[in-house]
Structure 1
Amino acid sequence: MQVVHATFASGEGKDAVDLLKNLGVEIEDYKLIESETGDLLIINLLYHNVDILIDKLKDRFDFTNNVHRSLIIFTPDTIIPSNKEKTKKEDYRATRETIVTYAKENSEMSSQLVFLAVVAAIIATLGLILDNTPVIVGAMIIAPVFGPIATMAIGIVLGDLKLLVKGIIVELAIMGIAISIGAIFALIIPNVSMTHALQVRMLPTLPDLLVALAAGGAGAYALITHVKSQQLVGVVIAAALIPVMATIGVGISLANVDMIIGAVLLLFGNLFALLLAIIIVFYVKGLKPQWWYESTANKLIKKSLIILTLSVIILTLPLSVITYNQMIKEEPEDVVRKIYREHFGDELESRLFSINVKDKEVDLIIYTPIDTDKHYFQLLANKIKEKLGEDYKVIFEIIPTQRLETPLQSS
């Protein structure tokens, strides 16, 4: 349930009550307080009625240019309804006005937004360079990336082109800030090299796209059911964006084309997936435009869904290739490790230090006793070729070990 407080000039309250009666609002759901200084109309409504009621009130009364009128909408923290059965049947969601207010607040290029974007980008970049996951998570918490994306989706669903454009501008600004910060810090910090955190974001896979879809759906659901709860989900959405933006900047500074292409692919894949999921959830949950925007909104939704769906499908193609290659890359190493463990581990009395499989070449580093017969290494190489193929070349780097027994000292 939400509560609407509408104030009017003295005597106007009765006209507003007549409007409520025509809309079918039950008498126990509103109360009119009349006075010489003005009328106050308190309306307790279930969520699904609020959008229509507000549209009618705004159409009948000018709340913007009349100092005697105002319209306040808020959600109580605790509700003890008189009709519990009726309340249980309703599908709760925030009002359109609440969602629009959120969008307007999060699509302004304020000094606070710029500051948070800069700080988040700095923290994310340092976390990537240091390969420090907790630091990267810290950047996600403060990154203001969910608001502009939600604003874009809200603008599409409600047919509000101004909101859509404002959301795009702010998101592009955050993107520019994060990429620039990544490039600058990677340039001024000495000895920046490839880390696992950077490598993960330069090799996007299909699971990354699925994470973005799930995060977008969760963020939209949290926003439309309770605006304040979206902050927690926004952390997950920031995980799909702000570190990736910083990775692009680091790639530019290092002149690493593979890093730039991979991170850009991941960034746009996540953006499209997030937008698609948010729009679908908003539409399914019943967020509707005002009637005069309905035609524009329907066209925007159809075009957006088609473009975003096609974009996500197209992006799944290179992501599928990368995912497949990653699986193939890991498989030979597992095969070699299994062969060694099952056939030669005990006989060689050795320790397999590392395996590297690249371009039909298997490099093995093994700690083994100094007098180990070379025959065992030939057998191991033959077994590997049987499993991987005769075109594989097996190279051993042997680190000899020697067992020493310390003599007992006499007292």
Structure 2
Amino acid sequence: MSTNDTETALPTAAPATLAHRFSLLHDKADDDVIDSTLRAGVELRGATPWILMFAIFVASIGLNINSPAVIIGAMLISPLMGPIVGIGYGIGIFDFALVRRSFVNLGIAAAISLAASTLYFLLTPLDEAQSELLARTTPTLWDVLIALAGGLAGIIGMTRKEKSNVIPGVAIATALMPPLCTAGYGLANGDWSMFGGAFYLFSINCVFIAASTVIVIEYLRLPHRKFVDQRVEKRVKRTLLAVVLLTALPSIYLAIQLVDNEVFGNRARQFVRQEFGTGTTHVVDTRLDPLRRQIELTLIGARMPQSAIDAIGKRLPQAGLAGASLVVHQAEDSKVDVGLLKADILADIFRDTQQGLRERDGSIVQLKQELAQEKAKHDSWRQTAADVAAEFAAQFPHCGDLLMGRALVAAPEAKPAEEVPTLSATCKTALKPAEVERAQAWLVTRTKSPGARLVLMAPPRRR
């Protein structure tokens, strides 16, 4: 082949290579394997309902304590994807018995999830709605796109020969469980707007995951049942399209509203910075109400004339805030009342002094109590020591120079030193071993101290 022939062949080979690289057919699993895999995921029996309940409890706890890590963990073990994909697969191959079975299993799964999450939120003492809960109450067009893209990725991963980690990622991205848990929170607290918003988000995920499954099944040309009457097949497709559109329309409206609110907020904050960011007047609080198109400010510092505020309000349309209103609150007098300030300072000093005196008196009382307890212990020990010495002298009259006290026993560095009762005596004649043992046992019993020591010494020799 000549050089010119090679240059001519390259442009035609490149599109073929590109088409092969993006083809979904060359690594597709066998049709029977795909069919059995997707049908097996539909059923909700055996261990699956238990796993679902525990996953719902984990997700509810994560939403309750506002922990994204816990919520993600719950989504990874959730078995909700199977029935939803089963609905899409059944519609794609026109197996309406499979569609009905998938709907039944999805309904059971949703009922179990709502019951478990409602029960948890009825029992938990943490009843405040955290940000992770509130984030699942206003679905928008972006949630539709996430569900559609996630569903496409999920069904493509399920139809491959080599299975990958696509499904856990899809479960996290589409977030099927948190909306159901949020709906359970709405039921537990009687908040029907939260319940409706969360359940709508769950419905979006279900519809668009199923729709994406139908799209991929059609593209892969999997074997499906053909209708004798083509009108019935067209009616099924039109119904699916209508369900998809009806599900998406509210989210489109909410997305437009969200974008409009964000644009209003950004323009309003920029307007406030430009108009009130200089001079001796300062903005201490800004409240924006996108629905009422209202900007409410609280100012401190030098008082602004009403004419200046009106002039600023007239510049709102130039900043893209046509139809917005400006409400400004100012202090009536910017002068400081020195007398009132002094009274406040003196009141604070008096209050702090009284608190310090109360704390000091409490410490003195506590120290007196501790001192009295130590004195009582000392007096009791002195009496006990005198009695022990007298009793020992009565038992061993040939022993004298009795000393009774507490000795500090040296201990290794790892252990604290210990004080033990110690009796020291000088005996004219040495005691027998049995007598020494009996005297030691008596001293331990008498002082109620296992570490009590008996020290016996012989008298010094005369020279």
2:174, 2:205 within 8 Å by CA — same for their partners in 1? Answer: no
3-state DSSP of counterpart to 1:175:
helix
Alignment CA distance shift 1:298-1:189 (3 Å): farther
Partner SS, residue 163 of structure 2: helix
Mapped pair 1:140 → 2:75: yes
Shift of 1:265: 2.3
1:386-397 correspondence runs (5 A): 387=319, 388-389=321-322, 392-396=325-329
Q: Please state whether the residue corresponding to 2:33 is helix, strand or coil.
A: helix
- Pairing 1:153–2:88 present: yes
Distance 1:161 1:227 in 2: 29
Deviation per CA, 1:258-286: give whole Å up to 9, x if none. 21222232222221111111111012012
* RMSD of Structure 2 on Structure 1 (CA): 3.4
Q: Which one-letter code corresponds to 2:26 in the other structure? A: D
> Aligned AA for 1:364?
L
Query: Could you tell me which amino acid in structure 1 is paired with residue 304 of structure 2?
Result: K
| C-alpha distance in 2 between matches for 1:311 and 1:193 | 35
Tell me the alpha carbon deviations over residues 350-377 of structure 1, each in whole angstroms, 9 at most, x when there is no partner.
Answer: 46554332534333356x4xx4223376
Specify whether residues 396 and 381 from structure 1 end up closer, same or farther in structure 2 by C-alpha distance, changes over 3 A only: farther
Aligned to 2:275: 343
Distance 1:346 1:101 in 2: 70
Equivalent residue number for residue 302 of structure 2: 372
Q: What CA distance in whole angstroms lies between the structure 2 residues aligned with 1:286 and 1:198?
A: 41
Residue aligning to 1:282 = 217
Partner residue, 2:241? 309
**Does the 8 A contact of 2:93 with 2:223 survive in 1?**
yes
Distance verdict in 2 for CA 1:94–1:327, change over 3 Å: same
- Alignment partners' CA distance in 1, 2:51 and 2:239: 31
Task: Determine the C-alpha separation between the residues in 2 that align with 1:401 and 1:171.
Answer: 68
| Residues 304 and 208 of structure 1: CA distance in aligned 2, closer, same or farther (over 3 Å) | farther
**Relative contact order, CA 8 A, sep 6+: which one is greater?**
1
Counting matched residue pairs gives 309
Deviations 1:198-221 (A, max 9, x none): 332211111111111111111111
Q: Out of 193, 196, 200, which is 1:258 matched to?
A: 193
- Of 311, 321, 326, 2:253 maps to 321
Q: Please give the secondary structure, in 2, of the residue aligned with 1:93.
A: coil
CA contact (8 A) 1:213 1:277 kept: yes
Where 2:79 maps in the other structure, the secondary structure is: coil
Which of these residues, 112, 115, 126, is aligned with residue 180 of structure 1? 115
1:207 counterpart residue number: 142
Q: Is the 8 A contact 1:244 1:266 kept in 2?
A: yes
Q: 2:171 aligns with which of 235, 244, 250?
A: 235
User: How much does 1:327 deviate?
Assistant: 2.3
Alignment of 1:363 onto 2:296: yes
Superposed displacement of residue 132, structure 1: 2.6
2:151 pairs with 1:216: yes
> Separation in 2 of the partners of 1:391 and 1:348?
25
Query: Counterparts of 1:105-116 in structure 2 under 5 Å?
Result: 105-116=40-51
- The verdict on how the C-alpha distance between 1:170 and 1:126 changes in structure 2, with shifts beyond 3 A counting, is same
Cα distance between partner residues in 2 of 1:192 and 1:251: 11
Deviation at 1:318, TM superposition (A): 1.8
**Equivalences for residues 162-181 of structure 1 within 5 A:** 162-181=97-116
Matched, 1:97 2:32: yes
Question: 2:57 — aligned with what?
Answer: 122
CA contact (8 A) 1:215 1:236 kept: no
Per the TM alignment, residue 390 of structure 1 is displaced from its structure 2 partner at its CA by 6.4
TM-score (normalizing by structure 2): 0.59
Identity value in percent: 21
What is the identity, as a one-letter code, of the residue corresponding to 1:167? S
Q: 1:342 to 1:232 in 2, by over 3 A?
A: same
Q: Distance in 2 between matches of 1:297 and 1:356?
A: 58
Gaps of 5+ in 1: 1-84, 403-411
Q: In the alignment, which residue of structure 2 is the partner of 1:75? A: none
Distance 2:70 2:283 in 1: 35
Aligned to 2:359: none
Match of 2:265 in 1: 333
Deviation at 1:142, TM superposition (A): 1.0
**Residues 90 and 268 of structure 1: CA distance in aligned 2, closer, same or farther (over 3 Å):** closer
Give the Å deviation of 1:110. 2.5
Contact 2:316 2:324 in 1 (8 A): no
Cα distance, 1:113 vs structure 2 = 1.1
TM-score (norm 1): 0.65
Partners of 1:114 and 1:174 in 2: CA distance: 7
Deviation of 1:392 after TM superposition, in Å, equals 2.1
Contact 1:146–1:237 (Cα < 8 Å) also in 2: no
How far, CA to CA, are the matches of 2:229 and 2:67 in structure 1?
A: 44
Distance 1:194 1:246, change over 3 A: same
**How many angstroms apart in 1 are the aligned matches of 2:105 and 2:49?**
10
Q: Classify 1:339/1:270 alpha carbon distance in 2 versus 1 (closer, same or farther; 3 Å).
A: same
Give the secondary-structure state (helix, strand or coil) at the position aligned to 2:27: coil
